[in-house]
């Protein structure tokens, strides 16, 4: 009788009969075999069993009233559905409504977890760290501009704080008072006792320096033959306009009408001042732009303390005429402060 070899289903190696595990891969050889059971002896055929003596055979018991009992009622039991895990990807944030592309875990706008069943959001193990792969995936999903926005915002806040601190430390009392007055914006004219020009020969024609504060359309004209431009103050070869205040007052601005009045036909025939320099008591010149419009120009310039004199020098002038007259004018000057 030939021996029966068992072929391993895992590696195909032939194994001798009776082996339980493959000789090559050690896999179990007979997972699908079962031990034959002992054949059962057939039972002898039996006929119907007669009823036991003494037990009468009759109709089934009846309920009171002569009616047979009702069959048992089967109550239908509602089958509870097996809860299914929500694996749908939330394309729109449920908090802010922003749309998010597929593959993101956090909302691009508010940072909320888009899918609460997302396996990416695994909790940290006590005393451990989040998986490196999850952290790297999060960094890739956050746009670069979102991270850069925080850096720029922090830098802007620091710059504002540093600038405000520098202004306050320079003159704490004056800055605090000036801020309060600027918010109220109640400008009050400062009385001027007199006006002069230095040197006196810088006055053009026969007009007087007092025309700059008389409240009329009469102008104060200066000779304009500068030998150069000045960064602040009177240009070389020109003069300064000096306002003597009635009493020491803190000045916070000037209203100047540059050039001749708009109704004067000679306005465009001479130079118009566009840049002036302002000094208080001869200290610290501040340059301010005037423009060329035929209207009042309001310039903010703060003395920071009560002063007695204001010096105004024309640093630069322009003209539309091809043959302008050698003069520059100011129709009116009004210093003011905030109440």
Q: Locate 278 and state its tokens.
A: 């302002």
Cis peptide preceding 199, ω within 30 of 0: yes
Confidence band (pLDDT; 50, 70, 90) for 216?
Answer: confident
Mean pLDDT lowest for which of 1-10, 133-142, 155-164, 224-233?
Answer: 133-142
CA 335 – CA 337 distance, rounded (Å): 7
Under DSSP, the state recorded for 52 is P
Under 8 Å CB-to-CB from 17, ≥6 apart: which residues?
A: 3, 4, 5, 6
Contact by Cβ (8 Å): 22, 11: yes
For residue 45, name the pLDDT band (cuts at 50, 70, 90): low
pLDDT at 234 over 70: yes
Supply the pTM of this predicted model: 0.47
Contact of 264 with 309, CB cutoff 8 Å:
no
State the Cα torsion 257-259-262-267 to the nearest 10°: 180
pLDDT per position as a tens digit, 239-281: 999 999 999 999 999 999 999 999 999 998 999 999 999 999 9
Distance spanning both ends of the chain, measured CA to CA: 127
The CA–CA distances, whole Å, from 281 to 192, 196, 244, 305, 315 equal 14, 14, 10, 11, 18
Name the more confident of 119 and 75: 119
Average pLDDT value for the chain = 77
Q: CA–CA separation, 89 vs 319, rounded Å?
A: 70
Mind listing the pLDDT tens digit for each residue in 52-83?
555 555 555 555 555 656 555 555 555 566 55
Question: For residue 18, what is the DSSP state?
Answer: T
pLDDT above 90 for 22: no
Q: How far apart are CA 264 and CA 251, in angstroms?
A: 30
Q: What is the DSSP string of 64-110?
A: TTSPPPPPPPPPPPPPPPPPPP-----SB-TTT--B--TT-SB-TTT
pLDDT digits (tens, 9 = 90+) for 129-155: 555 555 666 666 666 666 677 788 888
Quote the pLDDT of residue 247: 96
What pLDDT is stored for residue 186 in this prediction?
Answer: 85
Please tell me the distance from the alpha carbon of residue 220 to that of residue 330, in angstroms, as a whole number.
5
Check whether 212 has a pLDDT greater than 80. yes
């Amino acid at each position: 009788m030939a021996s029966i070899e068992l072929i391993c289903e895992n590696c195909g190696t032939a194994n001798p009969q009776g082996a339980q595990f493959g000789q090559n891969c050690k896999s179990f050889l007979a997972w699908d075999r079962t031990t034959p059971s002992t054949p059962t002896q057939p039972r002898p055929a039996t006929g119907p069993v007669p009823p036991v003596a003494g037990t009468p055979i009759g109709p089934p018991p009846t309920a009171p009233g002569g009616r047979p009992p009702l069959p048992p009622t089967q109550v239908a039991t509602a089958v509870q559905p097996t809860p299914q895990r929500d694996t749908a990807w939330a394309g729109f944030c449920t908090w802010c409504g922003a749309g998010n592309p597929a593959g993101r875990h956090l909302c691009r706008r508010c940072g909320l977890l888009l899918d609460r069943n997302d396996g990416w959001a695994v909790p940290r193990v006590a005393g451990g760290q989040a998986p490196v792969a999850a952290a790297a995936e999060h960094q890739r999903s956050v746009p670069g501009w979102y991270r850069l926005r925080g850096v720029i915002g922090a830098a802007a806040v620091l710059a504002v704080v540093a600038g405000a601190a520098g202004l306050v430390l320079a003159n704490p009392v004056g800055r605090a008072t000036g801020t309060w007055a600027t918010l109220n914006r109640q400008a009050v004219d400062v009385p001027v006792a007199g006006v002069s020009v230095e040197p006196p020969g810088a006055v053009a024609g026969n007009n007087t320096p007092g025309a700059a504060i008389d409240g009329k359309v009469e102008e104060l004209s200066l000779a304009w033959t500068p030998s150069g431009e000045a960064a602040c103050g009177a240009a070389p070869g020109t003069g300064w306009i000096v306002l003597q205040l009635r009493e020491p007052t803190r000045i916070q601005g000037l209203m100047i009408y540059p050039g001749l009045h708009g109704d004067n036909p000679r306005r465009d025939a001479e130079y118009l001042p566009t840049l002036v320099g302002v000094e208080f008591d001869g200290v610290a010149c501040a340059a301010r732009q005037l423009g060329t419009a035929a209207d009042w120009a309001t310039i903010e310039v703060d003395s920071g303390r009560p002063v007695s004199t204001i010096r105004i020098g024309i640093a630069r002038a322009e003209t539309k005429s091809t043959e302008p007259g050698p003069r520059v004018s100011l129709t009116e000057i009004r210093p003011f402060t905030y109440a």
